[in-house]
Amino acid sequence: MGVVGDCNLSVDLGSGVHDTAWRIFMRERGIQHMFFGAILVLVLMWQMRAGVSAGLTVHFLGMTTLTLILGWDFAVLAGSLAMLVMAVLGVESVSSLPVSLICVVVLPVLVTMLVLRIAEAKLPRNFFVYMFVCAFFGAGLAVAISGMSMAMLLWLDGVYSWSEIYLNYAMYLPLIMMPEGLLNGIIMTGVMVFHPDWIRTFDARVYIDEQ
C-alpha cells in the first residue's frame, strides 16, 4: 500500500480507545513516514512565496490537506515543525515566529476542522460533499482567514496603514483562494479515490460504501 503499509489512519489514529494517538504514531512506521514527508513538503512549498512587503506574502498553505489526512493534532505539530525549519533556514524571522505559527498553522487548522464539523453535522455524508466542501471550500476559506489575520495584526501593530495592506495584499487574496482550494481538492480527491484509508477524517464505509 505504499508509504503507509497496512496502516489505516482513519482507524489507527482516530480510534483512541485502547491506545493514544501518540503511541500509535510511535508504533506505526508508515504514519511516521507520512508525517515527516508532510513536513518536508510544507517547507518546500512555503519557500515558494510572493509579496511586495515584509510580512505580507502570498503562498500555498496546504494545511487543509494535512489536517484532513493526519487530524488537527498532528497537523498542528507538523506545521509547527515546518515553521521552525523555516526559521532555521532564515526564511522566517525568529521574532515573527509566534505570529506565523498562529496565522499560518493554527488558524488554518481550526478553520478546516470547523468546516469539517459543520459539513458532518449539516450535510449528507457524501464523497462529493467531503471533496468540495471540506477540501476545496475549506482550503480557500483557510488561506483567506490566514492571510487576513496576518494583515490585521500588522495593521493593529502600526506596521502598515490599511490602505497599504489593501493595495499591496488584501485585494490579491481572492486570487490565491481558488488555486489553494484547487490544489487541496485535487490532492484530496486522488487520495480519497486510491487510498481512502490514508485519511484520518474520512471513513470510506460511511462516505462511499453506504451510499
What's the number of CA atoms in the CB half-sphere (13 Å) around residue 52?
10
pLDDT of residue 207: 64
| Segments forming the whole domain that contains residue 143 | 2-209
Q: Please say whether the beta carbons of 130 and 184 come within 8 A.
A: no
d(CA 8, CA 181): 25
Collapsing DSSP states into helix, strand and coil, what is residue 18?
A: coil
pLDDT of residue 1: 35
Report the number of distinct structural domains present in the chain. Answer: 1
pLDDT of residue 51: 65
Q: Using a pLDDT cut of 90, give the percent of the chain over it.
A: 49
Collapsing DSSP states into helix, strand and coil, what is residue 50?
A: strand
Which residue in the block uniquely carries the three cell numbers 492571510? 147
Query: Where does residue 156 rank: exposed (0-12), middle (13-18), buried (19+ CB within 10 A)?
Result: exposed
pLDDT of residue 2: 38
pLDDT of residue 39: 96
pLDDT of residue 149: 94
Identify each DSSP E strand in the chain by its residue range.
Answer: 50-53, 56-58
pLDDT of residue 167: 85
Q: Please say whether the beta carbons of 94 and 84 come within 8 A.
A: no
pLDDT of residue 26: 84
d(CA 137, CA 140): 5
pLDDT of residue 42: 95
Residue range 119-168, pLDDT digits in tens: 999 998 888 899 999 999 999 999 999 999 999 998 998 888 899 888 88
CATH of the domain at 199: 1.10.1760.20
- Along the 211 residues of the chain, how does pLDDT read in single tens digits? 334 445 566 555 655 444 577 888 888 888 899 999 999 999 999 988 776 666 677 788 999 999 999 999 999 999 999 999 999 998 888 888 999 999 999 999 999 999 999 999 999 888 889 999 999 999 999 999 999 999 999 899 888 889 988 888 888 888 889 999 999 999 999 998 888 888 888 876 666 655 5
Q: Please say whether the beta carbons of 32 and 89 come within 8 A.
A: no
pLDDT of residue 19: 55
